Amino acid sequence: MPDVRPLPGQAPVCLRPYQAHAIHQIDTLVAQGTRRILVVAPTGAGKTSIAGSLILRAVSQGQQVLFLAHRRELIVQAWRRLQEMGLPPEQVGILMASDARRRPAAPVQVASVDTLRRRRLPAADLVFVDECHRALSPTYLGILKEYPQAVHLGLTATPFRADGRGFREVYDDLVLVASMQQLIAEGFLVEPRVFTVPASHLPDLGRVRVRGGDYDERALADAVDQQRLVGNIVEHWQKLAAGVRTVAFAVSIAHSQHIAASFQQAGVPAEHLDGSLATEERDAILQRLERGETLVVSNCGVLAEGWDQPSVKCAILARPTKSTGLYLQQAGRILRPWQGQPALLLDHAGCAVEHGLPQDEREFSLDGDKDDPARSKRKPREPRVCPSCQLVVAPTVRVCPACTTALVATVPLPAESPEELVEARPEQFTPPPSRKTPAFRRPEYHADRATFDFLRQAARSGGQVTWEQLDAIRAGTTR
């Protein structure tokens, strides 16, 4: 077990077994001299709890810590979790714009990347990067290179990049905290039911260009922001998830607003949320969603990362993406257990068929697709889609668990013959034609008496026989 000692007067930190094991793995690597480690854990596995335990220990040992994130939600989440774990408020400062919780003397600094790049960097012995799949950007790299002696720990659920780059220029080793299947089996996550739509109801992406590994957002917005497609989203939700608190992921602000308006026209309390809204307004929208006053929140570019609201148990994917990471981030928002409710993923973007089910086992590596082209081929097998109810299931499932439709075509058996078997008798059959044994081809040196006697005597005496001697025997002049 790792040494995660509480501060004086603080209750011991209670970790799940797999979290404690992950800390042990990190400690082992650091003891071996590894200074830069990528920590991978599915959404909902408790990456912040792992980081918090390591931060509490570092503070108890007199070390200084820097925790980097790119969004306000992630920064506030980390700050709150550290308070919940017993770190006194005066020991945690926030570096984010004009945030009043700024405490330059605190041993722990939770910092916004955009803010920190314009300010004097605090000292740090331990540096965390949350959602570290972003750590290859020039802003992150510029900050991280200023801490050459620190231990660097990157945290992410999705170590994939749309551009195919790997992470070896930032990290030296990788620790997998737990797999999705393990967390589902142990009850820490909920296995989602995934429904898609017929191909005719998916957006036409034939003319949408791919840039930087994902669809061009302007062209993608034009392709998906169609009245027919948006209306189908509402119909699908009313059929499968009516009354369930829901988040929708849209391509653009206008697309998100249109989704919210369509729900409102159908009598469903829905709101739109994007990054341009004031912080207080965004918080109020999510609070109404938590209370059930709002049932659907459609968003653009805000809630895919770092947002935890377990009561939201349905996600609508209205944004097609080539990025496996973005897809898994969006799907992961609804997988935390809450009052025994199931999780529903309504896929109007074709993501599940392209990238596999969220709970599929995946291979993680520091190498990107560009470094190891074979990696791009090692993705989960394409799932099956029920032709009756559009449930998406694993490729091994043969019968739809929702509507019992057979998912594998049955092979018709040959027609039975009414005739009965009869006894076979020898006289009923004509024997096969005989085959003559081919003539034996005699070797060049046949076993005549003189040759045989000579070879036997040579064998008894242990001597060697040469071809010249055999030739002499045949010529009648034994040597």
- DSSP symbol at 14: -
Residue 412 lies in a domain: no
Residue 188 lies in a domain: no
Residue 282 lies in a domain: yes
Residue 411 lies in a domain: no
Listed residues 360, 383, 414: the one ending a domain: 360
Retrieve residue 325's tokens. 């990471």
Q: Are residues 62 and 165 in the same domain?
A: yes
Q: Are residues 174 and 198 in the same domain?
A: no
Q: Are residues 210 and 72 in the same domain?
A: no
**Predicted structure pTM score:** 0.78
Q: Are residues 278 and 352 in the same domain?
A: yes
Q: Are residues 166 and 214 in the same domain?
A: no
The 10s digit of each residue's pLDDT in 211-248 is: 888 999 999 999 999 988 998 999 999 999 999 999 99
CA gap 302, 407 in Å, rounded: 37
The number of domains in the chain is: 3
The 10s digit of each residue's pLDDT in 374-385 is: 554 456 778 999
Residue identified by tokens 């790299």 is 141
Listed residues 360, 381, 414: the one ending a domain: 360
Q: Are residues 63 and 119 in the same domain?
A: yes
Q: Are residues 145 and 263 in the same domain?
A: no
DSSP codes joined into one string, 378-425: --PPPPEE-TTT-EEE-TT--B-TTT--B-SPPPPPPPPP-PPP----
Share of the chain above pLDDT 90, in %: 61
The 10s digit of each residue's pLDDT in 9-48 is: 444 568 999 999 999 999 999 999 999 999 999 998 999 9
Query: Which residues constitute the domain of residue 164?
Result: 17-179
Q: Are residues 61 and 163 in the same domain?
A: yes
> Which CATH number characterizes residue 24's domain?
3.40.50.300
Q: Are residues 25 and 143 in the same domain?
A: yes
- Give me the mean pLDDT over the 397-415 stretch: 77
Q: Are residues 84 and 197 in the same domain?
A: no
Least reliable range by pLDDT among 57-71, 88-102, 253-267, 373-387 = 373-387
Residue 25: the pLDDT is 97
- Give me the mean pLDDT over the 122-127 stretch: 96
